[in-house]
Amino acid sequence: MRSLGASKVSLSSISSQELWEKSGRLTEGSAEVFRFHDRKDTRFLLAPTHEEEITSLVGSLTTSYKSLPLRVYQITRKYRDEARPRQGLLRGREFVMKDLYTFDYNVSEALKTYQAVKYAYTQIFDELKIPYLVAAADSGNMGGSLSHEYHFISAKGEDRVVSCSHCDHVYNEELADGKTHKFNETEESSTLPGFQTEDAKVEGGATISNGMWMAISHDGNTLLRGWYPKYSMQNGSTEPVERHVNSHAVKAIATAAGIDLDLSVENPKEKWTAHVQSRSSEQKPRVLDLYDSQVRVYQRPPLSDLLEEIGCTATDIEYSKLDRFPGTSNQLSLVRVHDGDSCSQCADGQLTSNPAVELGHTFHLGTRYSEVLQASVSVNQAVLDGSAESGGKSSKEQIVPMEMGCHGIGVSRLISAVANRLADPKGLNWPRAIAPFDVAVVPTKGLDAVAERIYDSLTSISVDTLLDDRDKGMGWKLGDADLIGYPVLVVVGNGWKKNQTLEVQCRRLGVKENVSMDSLPTVVEGLLSQL
């Protein structure tokens, strides 16, 4: 944060419901926000994030573009009334977040800020020396590639991140847009094609059997059926692959077709049947069939079983089908990426899909908050256009809403994700960047003076060292050190008594070696540089 010139602030954990209503983020349905009122019935909330507060604060203090760029951050407790709090610090209702807010006077300055923040974030994650993925988090509707997520791959993760073996194509599965994408394809066609029926050739891998997946609209009137390749062959494989529907992709297609899907309904067909049988409105019940690009489209709708079941005829129902994304010529892709699928962004890559934990998020907000909360600066036209670094006095002054960014790192969640990732049956294992100490020196009884010499020699080369001088046995102390997870241990024991050697241990790298007092600093620094 210092490298960005960001100033540390500390905003109240309590915010005002009125302010959040002004920004449009608090409605009756905002179930994740803890609300309360004070003794005078003023309505408050426990802030899950602080865009509203910081925008109105900065807006009230900043009048000229000369104060920009302005970057402020805090590391504070945030609150969210999670429907399913679980996995300890990984998804709690109180959590510690570092949140950075940035303010610029035009988009091009804001994009420079965004790139600077993205660089700082990769520096932070690099320092942990644990592999992470930076996933694009836009699908075109946020204004360009201006949102990124930072993930650890983890079996405990609730996201799924898809990445290519060859190019830098990385994205969160929930951002699947429901369209097929092929390398070198142009998406610009706006031709609305005719329907292709079973005579047409189906591209892509050979589908062995189809599956059908259902969902229902919020109003209960529309039953959506997705026809997808349940088993299909992959290039270069002889075993068929079982595929699953990506509900985010289906939702994207449905939304584009004007249908508001409710993915929380567990039995959509039963619910729709009940709706059809009890309906009083004049609106006809509707069935929409979506066809994945790998499924042949039936010329006659396969409705008969369903109609028989509910006691209707085809004229009682409004039926339609889609095999292209509404408004485009793109075919539909309803299924989740399977390991080994081809990449859509490069010729040679294969995709992998992994469960992942999201630890950070950078976001260009534009004027989403600054407009409604009146956070503006005056700037002269030449500066605004970028045609002059310090605008000529003759140029006209404009009042413009600030271009904002928000950028978070989940601090408590990161601690938990690192712990999960590196712990082994003996205990925790901390990366050097967040370890309580770099090195623990553990002497046996009677060797305290040697241990102190080691402590002094390591601290003199800026290694953050702990000397465990507690009055306990060596076995207990080593077990305790393993539990806590110091990156490196230096054991002063029998080796010293016999040969004046020290045992250096690093559980994470599988190292256990005897070294002399002289070579200790070099050995320790060599290990730490990998941790």
Q: Are 476 and 470 in contact (CB under 8 A)?
A: no
- Burial code of 194-212, b = ≥16 C-beta within 10 A, e = fewer? eebeeeeebebbebeebbe
Which residue lies nearer to a second copy by CB, 14 or 483? 14
Q: At 149, list the tokens.
A: 């997520």
Separation of alpha carbons 524 and 502, rounded Å: 11
Q: Is 14 in the site for a second copy (CB under 8 A)?
A: yes
Q: What are phi and psi of 513, to 5 degrees?
A: -140, 155
The window from 21-29, 77-85, 384-392, 522-530 that contacts a second copy (CB under 8 A) reads 77-85
Q: Is 94 in the site for a second copy (CB under 8 A)?
A: yes
The window from 10-18, 198-206, 271-279, 365-373 that contacts a second copy (CB under 8 A) reads 10-18
Which residue lies nearer to a second copy by CB, 12 or 277? 12
Which residue lies nearer to a second copy by CB, 14 or 509? 14
- Name residue 102's beta-bridge partners: 71, 405
Q: Which amino acid is at 226?
A: G
Q: Is 34 in the site for a second copy (CB under 8 A)?
A: yes
The window from 27-35, 133-141, 352-360, 438-446 that contacts a second copy (CB under 8 A) reads 27-35
Which residue lies nearer to a second copy by CB, 39 or 300? 39
Q: How far is the CB of 15 from a second copy (least distance, A)?
A: 11
Q: Is 98 in the site for a second copy (CB under 8 A)?
A: no
Other Cβ atoms less than 10 A from the Cβ of 215: the count is 25
Which residue lies nearer to a second copy by CB, 96 or 346? 96
Q: Is 13 in the site for a second copy (CB under 8 A)?
A: yes
Q: Is 93 in the site for a second copy (CB under 8 A)?
A: yes
Q: State yes or no: cis peptide before 69, omega within 30 of 0.
A: yes
The window from 74-82, 280-288, 296-304, 361-369 that contacts a second copy (CB under 8 A) reads 74-82
Smallest CA-to-CA distance from 33 within 20, 51, 52 is with 20
Smallest CA-to-CA distance from 253 within 179, 184, 314 is with 179
Nearest 5°: CA angle at 62, between 58 and 68? 95
Separation of alpha carbons 400 and 41, rounded Å: 36
Separation of alpha carbons 57 and 299, rounded Å: 61
Q: How far is the CB of 117 from a second copy (least distance, A)?
A: 23
Which residue lies nearer to a second copy by CB, 28 or 239? 28
Q: Are 361 and 408 in contact (CB under 8 A)?
A: yes
Question: What's CA 280's distance to the chain center, in Å?
Answer: 44
Q: Are 416 and 95 in contact (CB under 8 A)?
A: no
Which residue lies nearer to a second copy by CB, 83 or 449? 83
The window from 6-14, 204-212, 226-234, 403-411 that contacts a second copy (CB under 8 A) reads 6-14
Q: How far is the CB of 96 from a second copy (least distance, A)?
A: 9
Which residue lies nearer to a second copy by CB, 82 or 308? 82
Q: At 403, list the tokens.
A: 């271009």
Beta strands of 137-252 (E only): which ranges? 147-153, 159-164, 170-172, 207-217, 222-233, 240-242
Sequence-ordered list of residues with C-beta below 8 angstroms from that of 154, at least 6 positions apart, any chain: 355, 356, 357, 417, 420, 421
Sole binder of a second copy in the list 7, 12, 115, 277 (CB under 8 A): 12
Q: Is 469 in the site for a second copy (CB under 8 A)?
A: no
Q: At 235, list the tokens.
A: 């290039």
Sole binder of a second copy in the list 2, 28, 29, 38 (CB under 8 A): 38
Question: What's CA 172's distance to the chain center, in Å?
Answer: 7
Sole binder of a second copy in the list 39, 300, 393, 498 (CB under 8 A): 39
Sole binder of a second copy in the list 2, 31, 239, 471 (CB under 8 A): 31
Which residue lies nearer to a second copy by CB, 284 or 472? 472
Please tell me the count of residues contacting a second copy according to CB under 8 A: 16
The 188-207 site mask, x for binding a second copy (CB under 8 A), equals: --------------------
Q: Is 476 in the site for a second copy (CB under 8 A)?
A: no
Which residue lies nearer to a second copy by CB, 12 or 209? 12
Pairing status of strand 501-506 against strand 511-516: antiparallel
Q: Is 49 in the site for a second copy (CB under 8 A)?
A: no
- In the complex, the residues that contact a second copy under the rule CB under 8 A are 12-14, 31, 34-36, 38-39, 46, 77, 79, 81, 83, 93-94
